Amino acid sequence: MKRAVFLLFSCALWCVAAVAQPATLTGAQILQKSAEAYAQLKSYSGRTTVISESYIMGIHLAQTASAQIEFERPGKLRITGRDSSGNSFTIISNGDSTWLSWPLQNEGGFGQEKDVWIAISKMTGVALLTPTYVPSALLTASNGMPFDNVEGAQLMGRETVGGVDCYHVVVNDSGSKRAYWVDVQTLLLRQFQREETAAQVRKALQSTVDELKTSHSPALKTLSQAAPDFDKTGASISLYLFSNSQLDSDIPDGMFLPPNQNQ
The closest of 150, 191, 157 to 173, measured between CA atoms, is 150
Could you give all domains of the chain from N- to C-terminal order, each with its CATH number? 25-245 (2.50.20)
Report helix, strand or coil for 55. Answer: strand
Edge-to-edge strands, sheet with 236-247: 111-113, 98-101, 88-94, 76-82, 59-72, 43-56, 236-247, 189-196, 176-183, 164-173, 154-161
Q: Which residues have C-beta within 8 Å of that of residue 144, sequence separation ≥ 6?
A: 120, 124, 129, 132, 133, 136
Is the C-alpha dihedral spanning 141, 144, 146, 150 positive or negative?
positive
Question: Tens digit of pLDDT per residue, the chain (263 long)?
Answer: 444 434 444 444 444 443 443 458 999 999 999 999 999 999 999 999 999 987 666 677 899 999 999 999 999 999 999 999 999 999 999 999 999 999 999 889 999 999 999 999 999 999 999 999 999 999 987 666 799 888 889 999 999 999 999 999 999 987 789 999 999 999 999 999 999 776 665 666 666 666 666 766 665 556 556 555 666 666 789 999 999 989 999 999 899 999 987 54
The closest of 133, 132, 123 to 83, measured between CA atoms, is 123
